[in-house]
Chains A and B, each alone.
Chain A
Amino acid sequence: ETGVTQTPRHLVMGMTNKKSLKCEQHLGHNAMYWYKQSAKKPLELMFVYSLEERVENNSVPSRFSPECPNSSHLFLHLHTLQPEDSALYLCASSLSPPLVGADTQYFGPGTRLTVL
């Protein structure tokens, strides 16, 4: 299944670096999401975009900056991260925005981020 792709799959960065995570969905969906998965914690929703507009920001630190240039692409720009930001970052998409219908979210393979 290559419906949702993420690059890179692995990333190691220092606390002063600036990097970006990329997500692309090939499903014709209208909503995209960023999740953070830390060890031994439930998935945490970070950002939601619906029709390229941000509709949810769950109190995420400003060192994480999302960008959604079109309905197929979603970026997460990273700068001055902390070691506790090391986690698996998952992108997902759904046909409809969260409040509309009961659409399933389809996930990408994730980017495993390590902050040194």
Chain B
Amino acid sequence: AQKITQTQPGMFVQEKEAVTLDCTYDTSDPSYGLFWYKQPSSGEMIFLIYQGSYDQQNATEGRYSLNFQKARKSANLVISASQLGDSAMYFCAMRGGSQGNLIFGKGTKLSVKP
């Protein structure tokens, strides 16, 4: 069975510092995709970054980068130079399996302190 685990219910980071949000996954599929979404208090899930299981390089999108360690089955999100607007819930998700649907973790609440 596929599973996404986010072990940090909440994280604090000082403004302008970098923060790493952990995500581990479990799957027996050779082909899968990993996603990170941000959910502010308004509720909308905002797509941040994607990593394919066959991608050789770690994905980057602006201040977001994904530290993909395939052997360890981890896909941590790194946010550089944190901003107050980064305060939100962050969800790791995996796409794969027989139906190709997204499976989400329980999320990490990030709070950025001024």
Q: Do A41 and B47 contact each other (CB < 8 Å), given the known contacts A48-B101, A98-B95, A99-B100? A: no
Complex contact A109–B106 (CB within 8 A):
no
Contacts of A42 in B (CB 8 A): 4, 91, 103-107
Which residues of B (96-112) have their CB < 8 Å from a CB of A? 99-107
CA separation between A12 and B91, bound complex, in Å? 27
| Closest Cβ neighbor of B37 among chain A residues | A107
Complex contact A98–B44 (CB within 8 A):
no
Complex contact A56–B102 (CB within 8 A):
no
Please count how many residues in chain B sit with their CB below 8 Å of the partner chain's CB atoms.
24
Total A-B Cβ pairs within 8 A: 56
Separation in Å of the A113 CB from the closest CB of chain B?
A: 12
CA separation between A46 and B33, bound complex, in Å? 20
Complex contact B50–A102 (CB within 8 A):
yes
Contacts of B101 in A (CB 8 A): 45, 48, 56, 98
